[in-house]
Structure 1
């Protein structure tokens, strides 16, 4: 079975010259594969190619809607339901069969629907941050640190209720799924599974120093295996404290002028010569 489509951007990836193979949109290919039918794209510049389909719009407009006013959707639906049996009892002008009889035969030739419906998703590519978070639709979602690298591209597949994150290449088991999250409501939200952060640096090995650890550490008096932990840093702090208590003598600047034989410093301005 095949279904005829216009060359819309939801079906055709790009327009090509007449006679060239038409590249189909990946989502359309997946949809057709799920429901098991072929996609037949109209030839370029052929507006009458599916005229029989669009003709039904004019038939409904002329026989159900023209010259009538409806106060509600329910009243409109009732008028259409009353007209359908009349239409199905007519002989079709193209194939010469009663429309209702031909429709019943066509229905028996249809395959059963799959157990699960096809879910249309948005597909986007995003970079992974150093904190194993990706940004999508003004929100952040986590991916496992053990399976991705910073600045790695991952595919976001988004539905109205769910976000799934996939690797662009399958792993050794042929799988691409990295994480599944509920879609955030609003903006600036963080949807994080804390297990995804296993393997990231925790900061447990960080150290600080006073900058004087390279000073020699004095030995302890008495028995012992060695200096106490942190003794070098403590001694450096004690040395700095002792240096701060050293008394500094104060003397006037004129003493240095006498020693160097220079002219004493003065702030008086010289008297200007007047004529």
Structure 2
């Protein structure tokens, strides 16, 4: 028994000399999640909404949420021209259903008083759509190239599945009795 205590004491003394002092700044634990930006420049996280600047994001853009115990920090997944990714910092909401908004973030959103429906300075280009027949032909060409077209599919009546599961909802045959 004394041999074990001596070994443990020797190891403990060696471990204590190897330990470094604690850092001055506390270690911040943060959760990191990816979320999409809504049309209203709000990002949903933990059943709450947090705003991001309308001029720096677009709807459905993916942003990174870094959540600490007291803060929500929103970063873009792509750096801007200056190399920055920080979009917004908010105090973390307590509870659920809160909407934490910085009113300045909504600058640039359409106000509903004009026909403007986007924050972009470049007008959206109309989609070029071919004839419906053309789309159908390209889809058929894709399907005929694929190996899935050549797969034989077995066909059987639905009653087979009723037999397998032991349920016969639309049959007149009584269900088999279960042994007791």
User: Same fold by TM (over 0.5)?
Assistant: yes
CA deviation vs aligned residue, 1:146-193 (integer Å, no higher than 9, x gap): 211111001111223221111112233333221111111222211000
* Residue 191, structure 1, aligned to residue 94, structure 2: no
**SS of the residue 1:123 aligns to:** strand
Stretches of structure 2 that go unaligned for 5 or more consecutive residues are 116-180
Which residue of structure 2 aligns with residue 140 of structure 1? 49
1:123 correspondence with 2:15: no
- 2:176 maps to which residue? none
Residue 78 of structure 2 is matched in structure 1 by: 169
Residue 139 of structure 1, CA deviation: 1.2
Distance 1:139 1:187 in 2: 6
Classify 1:147/1:91 alpha carbon distance in 2 versus 1 (closer, same or farther; 3 Å): farther
Aligned to 2:4, which of 67, 78, 92? 92
**Structure of higher RCO (CA pairs closer than 8 Å, 6+ residues apart):** 2
CA distance in 2, matches of 1:187, 1:132: 19
Residue number in structure 2 paired with 1:182:
91
Residue in structure 2 matching 1:102, options 11, 16, 28: 11
Match for residue 152 of structure 1 among 55, 61, 76: 61
Match of 1:91, SS state, is: helix
Displaced runs of 4 or more, over 4 A: none
Tell me the matched-pair count.
115
* Change in CA separation of 1:134 and 1:91 when aligned onto 2, cut-off 3 Å: same
SS in 2 for 1:135: strand
After TM superposition, the structure 1 = structure 2 runs for residues 211-222 of structure 1, keeping only pairs within 5 Å, are none
- TM-score (normalised: structure 1): 0.38
Return 5+ residue gaps in structure 1 as ranges: 1-86, 207-275
Aligned partners of 1:164, 1:137: CA distance in 2, in Å? 13
TM-score (normalizing by structure 2): 0.56
Instruction: Output the aligned Cα RMSD.
Output: 2.3
Give the superposition deviation at 1:204: 4.4
Matches within 5 A, 1:1-275: 90-92=2-4, 97-205=6-114
